[in-house]
Amino acid sequence: MTVADTCLHPYPGGDSSLRRMAIEARELGFDTIVVPVATPHIASGVRVIPAAIIDGENIRAVSSRLRKVTDRNSLVMVNAGENGFNRAVMNLKGVHVLRNLSLTRKRSFDHICARLALERGIAVDIDLYPVIHTAGTSRQRILVRYGELISLHSRYPFPMTISSNARSVLDLRSVDEIILLCSLFGMAEDDVHAALSTAGDLLAPSGPVTVVS
């Protein structure tokens, strides 16, 4: 079963090389990482899945940028927005993951979005970076937000992914640490394991990979 960190940022997006992050991810229990602007390959025993991250001020801009993604080996991830925007994203062909919900307003992802995600097989990403790196009321708001997402998931079991959004090896967390972090907002261990396996299944069929030592 795949165990994937669904978004991390090696150099030049972060301060650690891809090889160093792949080695660290492997030691922490991962066999797959998703990396923006990459190519499919195996790095230090870890499968690297390329990601195309789309950010648009409106659905027309997202649709336009989506058409420019021609690599079928890329995991297409769209940054979330307000409720109507997110509903529209769910109806776009070629979208794999809706991300950055922690940055949006309350009710931007409701039961209609949840049902559409389930029907379309679009995953909702849980970004652990703000859980780890914020404190006080900001952190509490994110925990509440993710708790609401888990509640929706219990009614509409849409796919989920989990990301560290690490920009350094110091930001990476082990599978056991991720299970503990996710328990803070009520995510069961079985659901964590399922979410960690999702990224490897979103691209079908899997594209060819190159082994890099």
In a domain, 62, yes or no: yes
Nearest-5° Cα angle at 145, 141 to 148: 140
Q: Torsions phi, psi of 121, nearest 5?
A: 70, 30
In a domain, 47, yes or no: yes
Give me the pLDDT at residue 208, please. Answer: 42
Mean pLDDT for the chain overall: 92
Cα-trace Rg, the chain? 16
Average the pLDDT over 86-96 and give the result: 95
Q: What is the distance between the alpha carbons of residues 141 and 44, in angstroms, rounded to a whole number?
A: 37
* pLDDT of 205 over the 90 cut: no
Q: What is the distance between the alpha carbons of residues 23 and 56, in angstroms, rounded to a whole number?
A: 33
Domain with residue 164: its CATH number is 3.20.20.140
**pLDDT tens digit string along 26-62?**
999 999 999 997 789 999 999 999 999 999 889 999 9
In a domain, 56, yes or no: yes
In a domain, 63, yes or no: yes
Average the pLDDT over 95-116 and give the result: 95
In a domain, 209, yes or no: no
**pLDDT tens digit string along 143-165?**
999 999 999 999 999 999 999 99
Domain that holds residue 198: 4-203
Give me the pLDDT at residue 106, please. Answer: 87
In a domain, 61, yes or no: yes
**For residue 43, how many other CB atoms are within 10 A of its CB?**
25
In a domain, 213, yes or no: no
Q: Torsions phi, psi of 158, nearest 5?
A: -70, 160
**pLDDT tens digit string along 171-189?**
999 999 999 999 999 999 9
Give me the pLDDT at residue 204, please. Answer: 62
pLDDT band at 72 (very low <50, low <70, confident <90, very high): confident
Total of domains in the chain: 1
Q: What is the distance between the alpha carbons of residues 55 and 78, in angstroms, rounded to a whole number?
A: 6
* pLDDT of 210 over the 80 cut: no
* pLDDT of 213 over the 80 cut: no
Q: Which amino acid is at 16?
A: S
In a domain, 210, yes or no: no
**pLDDT tens digit string along 114-150?**
999 999 999 999 999 999 999 999 999 999 999 999 9
Ramachandran sector of residue 105 (left: φ over 0; alpha: ψ -120 to 50; beta: rest):
beta
- This prediction has a pTM of 0.91
